[in-house]
Structure 1
Amino acid sequence: MSSSIPMTELVVSMAPQSTVHSVTYDLLRTLELTTVFGNPGSTEQPFLQEFPDDFTYVLALQEASVIAMADAFAQVTRRPALVNVHSSAGLGNSLGNLVAAYHGNTPLILTSGQQHREMVIGDPYLGNREATTMPKPWVKWSYEPARAEDVPNAFMRAYALALQPPAGPVYLSIPLDDWKRPLAGPARLRTVSRRALPDEQRLRHFADRISASSRPALVFGPEVDRSGGWHAAIALAEKLRAAVYGAPLLDRASFPEDHPLFGGPLGISIKAISDRLAGHDLVVVIGGEAFRYYPYVSGDYLPAGTDLLQITANPEVAAAARMGDSLLGDTKTAIDRLLELVADGAARNTPTPMARPRRLPPTPSRPLTPAEVYASLSKARPLDAVIVNESTSTMAQQIEWLPTVNPGSFFATASGGIGWGTPAAVGVALADRESGVSRPVIGLIGDGSFQYSVQAIWTAAQHKLPIAYVVMRNNEYSILKSFAELEETPGVPGLDLPGIDIASVARGFGCHAVDVDTTEDLEREFTQALTADSTTVIVVSTQPQKAAL
């Protein structure tokens, strides 16, 4: 007698196979690289497919704005930011603001898609010819993985290089077919140091020279604020009773500009800086270049009888100095150690603080002067506000009326190129929101600068970011007219900007926008903008301002 045994159908649940895409996203998640700034193209879509719910994609409408948003975001969060742009065309658009990120030592991981590996040999449409060469010299490392399997390790190396001092942007070009390749995970995770200690013996030598100085001057560069050394810098200046000057063409303020020891901006030409330092026997530059010069006005690099010491985390900055002795090392660590080593300077004469004449016209002007604009803003600005400045011809008036008084609260382009400030304000506001910080973000932008990256305000509006943009409309490239006068080049074309309805453009991008031409209207609209839950663009008619060169 035969019997049949019923067969039970076995259902085996198989975990999905790991791929380059899944392993890389797990690594990015572990590294807290879950915010992606970008403008997608066809070769980037395999990277962005099935975008995880725990990641955030910040869309900007042009790649230069993408970079500037990520730059400011990384500066505020103090960790690397991930950027994704399109092949050679998008990468090309991004280069102007990539220069700023490089000079600002901002840790960015910039990625773009490459065409399918099988097609690259034939120079296909939208292929990135010599992909690793294109972003140089404005990245610390530029790489296209030799194998798809190397993509996660390339991200790990990029992260390490972006963070290690001097921090800065790195670039990865990734063929679009790499993302679906099978790959066993997880990726190898590493940690790296973010600080390098200064040489103790040389630091002691510097401390002895500072202690022996009869009238020292301190210049705190942007590295001080970036490294968290703001309060230590105040303590050092007060212990030494030393004058403190604003670093030339600063992109981060590193000392309170209302402090009694603050002597004002140093200047931006060889002659101006040398003249400003006359009478000091020693200048100590900490965390910055010695010096950023522009334009060329001949003079002595230092006054006779003045020595210079420089402390920086950046070997290139140290090597480029035209005078003085340098020391490499983390700036905050160096300041903390100098506080212990230098002698008290109580016997020194108290330096003269910055003069603030704060002169205003006897009656309101039409159009307003920049001083009147800043005076009005100063009445309503909260002390915890952060300023992003790209009104290049009026920065002296901003320091006079709206001094930076807190760490991490002033940002400007580190490269001198315009079009950074408007999207950078977006990056600051996004970083504050992610960090749970509530403070007003103020964008002080010239009308010429605003046009370079006006599309960035669309991103601000979409994210309902409470940014107050104050656009000073003088209908010209005022800074360039100042340079034309200095350089004795009359008749330069293209320096006037008539006929731009900035408020209408801003409304078209989804922002609340108003035109104002009186101080009363400006104060009212600015006060309302500071407490709004969306982006405001205030366009104020102003007189051209000759820049302090």
Structure 2
Amino acid sequence: MVGEGSTVRTVTYDLLRSLGMTTVFGNPGSTEEPFLQKFPDDFTYVLGLQEASVIAMADGFAQTTRRPALVNVHSSAGLGNALGNLVAAYRGHTPLIVTSGQQHRELVIGEPYLGNRDATNLPRPWVKWAYEPARAEDVPEAFMRAYAVALQPPSGPVYLSIPLDDWSVPLEGPAVLRSVSTTCAPDIERLRGFAERLSASRRPALVFGPEVDRSGGWHAAVALAEKLRASVYGAPLPDRASFPENHRLYQGPLGMSLKAISDRLTGHDLVTIIGAEVFRYYPYVPGDILPAGTELLHIAADPAMTGAARVGDSLLGDPRLAIELLTDMVKDGARTQPEPMPRPRKLPTKPSSPLTPAEVHATVSTARPPHAVLVYESTSSMAEQVEWLPTIEPDSFFATASGGIGWGVPAAVGVALGDRDRGVRRPVIGLIGDGSFQYSVQAIWTAAQHSLPIVYVVLRNKEYSILKSFAELERTPGVPGLDLPGLDIAAVARGFGCRAVDVETTAALEKEFAVALEAGTTTVIVVPTQPQKAAL
């Protein structure tokens, strides 16, 4: 597109081609149309019906393809809609370039309709960098910088606000193209000291967090754990799984509170956390950060993460690289191998009506084909996920990193699109609570439009069970707004173009799940379930 008559728009599109960013996730508005006009045939536009869904779709796509995704939302109002899931992308270190249109430069001084007041402040602090070019001619270079900042560790979303009249300004190309490093090596001498402490530990514990899987360190984590014969725990509230949860060394999740985590780590003299926070807490249950006599080592690529840790000695560096180097440095474990985690897997003696969450998870476990991806957002049944649907392969478990709901449904769309983009065929399962499903329900329209092989299983317990559990924990009776009557989820799903069914038994669920896998489109299976107290 560069040549005689080239403009800011044509130069920018050529830059995006060179960067491999030819998929645009968006919901267009009038201030974005100058960028989107004459949309190139070699680009793909993924339309989402609400901006929060658009962000989560791009998030899932970027995580799956392992490259930045481009998002285009509408001015300040659209960006405001997007903020909830932008928090998840920031917490999850997902590289996104989020753009929105600004009003015409000649109008901005008068606070026009659709003007984005203090545009670069609106998305903060949930972006790494926010910028509105001072000149139209700076737009391509701003995209190049945005790409570099989004990718460099710790990776994350960035934001550009672009006045609508900038795109037509004449500009000679091409734009300057740069490459950037995505890996920072750890300090070798400090890492060697960590290795010595690990080798000398009598009963070490390893905690592999989401950044291990993101960095491609799954297999390296297994090698380190096996060499040390160390107990391995899942990081609290993980948005990615980084170790096979059926491995003999895996001891289950740590828990979510001060007390739960400290109790779980009792008896370990050294805990090494790689690629996770110290710690990600949810309910407040008083306790110690660490049990008496336990020391902690912390390795992460994000200095904000290591800086926020309240205990322990830290080391900055890429998680995968640090694990690989540690594996070479540590001595073989002569200690006794920990006992495998018991898996009680209790089910009712006869079928329930409505089904229990355990029965639903057990059925999905039976029906789940090899190499399937699980996108999970059923907050009151997270314990059942670990019990019945353990993650056993890298890049196959995705959840929100923010704690807000409404991420999972559109993220599954992004994961499926990412798989299609890289030529990978694998089923995507979205296990979603009925409350969570409502937050971004419009995302299933995009799934249907693209005929994505997603099977959504919606647990319909007619309430926000997780909040009722918190009401008990926090001793706050009488909280309103926790019941969800009157939702016909299957009818809504059919209205958005999906195949949808209601089931009430495990046999029906298994049958419909098998049909969904062969349907060639998106299916929503709604299962009435019994409310249950969440494991807090």
TM-score normalized with structure 2 length: 0.99
Match of 1:354 in 2: 341
Contact 1:440 1:530 in 2 (8 A): yes
Which structure has the larger Rg? 1
Given the alignment of the two structures, is residue 157 of structure 1 paired with residue 145 of structure 2, yes or no? yes
Return the letter of the residue paired with 1:268. M
Return the letter of the residue paired with 1:224. V
Alignment of 1:517-528 (within 5 A): 517-528=504-515
Query: How far apart in 2 are the matches of 1:49 and 1:338?
Result: 52
Alignment of 1:93-492 (within 5 A): 93-345=81-333, 347-492=334-479
1:188-242 superposed Cα distances (whole Å, 9 cap, x missing partner): 0000000000001100000000000000000000010000000000000000000
Contact 1:254 1:407 in 2 (8 A): yes
**Runs of 5+ in structure 1 lacking a partner?**
1-13
Contact 2:3 2:173 in 1 (8 A): no
1:117-162 superposed Cα distances (whole Å, 9 cap, x missing partner): 0000000000000000000000000000000000000000000000
1:451 alignment partner, SS class: helix
Q: Residue 382 of structure 1: CA displacement?
A: 1.4
Match of 1:78 in 2: 66
Q: Aligned match of 2:24 in 29, 36, 53? A: 36
Return the letter of the residue paired with 2:100. S
2:360 alignment partner, SS class: helix
Contact 2:3 2:172 in 1 (8 A): no
Given the alignment of the two structures, is residue 48 of structure 1 paired with residue 36 of structure 2, yes or no? yes
1:384-407 superposed Cα distances (whole Å, 9 cap, x missing partner): 000000001111101111100000
Query: How far apart in 2 are the matches of 1:156 and 1:15?
Result: 20
**Runs of 5+ in structure 2 lacking a partner?**
none
1:540 alignment partner, SS class: strand
Contact 2:212 2:242 in 1 (8 A): yes
Contact 1:383 1:405 in 2 (8 A): no
Query: How far apart in 2 are the matches of 1:293 and 1:379?
Result: 32
Identity, % of aligned positions? 77
1:350-405 superposed Cα distances (whole Å, 9 cap, x missing partner): 11222211111111000000010111111111130000000011111011111000
Q: Residue 185 of structure 1: CA displacement?
A: 0.5
Q: Residue 527 of structure 1: CA displacement?
A: 1.2
The worse-fitting range, judged by mean Cα deviation, of 110-119 and 293-302 is 293-302
Where does structure 1 differ by over 3 angstroms across 4 or more consecutive aligned residues? none
Between the two proteins, the alignment pairs up a number of residues equal to 535
2:31 alignment partner, SS class: helix
Return the letter of the residue paired with 2:10. S
Query: How far apart in 2 are the matches of 1:15 and 1:167?
Result: 34
Given the alignment of the two structures, is residue 534 of structure 1 paired with residue 524 of structure 2, yes or no? no
Over aligned residues, Cα RMSD in angstroms? 0.8
Return the letter of the residue paired with 2:36. L
Return the letter of the residue paired with 2:482. L
Query: How far apart in 1 are the matches of 2:282 and 2:222?
Result: 28
Return the letter of the residue paired with 1:290. V
Contact 2:489 2:526 in 1 (8 A): yes
Query: How far apart in 2 are the matches of 1:120 and 1:350?
Result: 66
1:146 alignment partner, SS class: coil
Return the letter of the residue paired with 1:202. R
Match of 1:17 in 2: 5
Return the letter of the residue paired with 2:447. A
1:223 alignment partner, SS class: helix
Query: How far apart in 1 are the matches of 2:446 and 2:263?
Result: 44
TM-score normalized with structure 1 length: 0.97
The worse-fitting range, judged by mean Cα deviation, of 350-359 and 310-319 is 350-359
Q: Residue 15 of structure 1: CA displacement?
A: 5.9
Q: Residue 257 of structure 1: CA displacement?
A: 0.4
1:196 alignment partner, SS class: coil
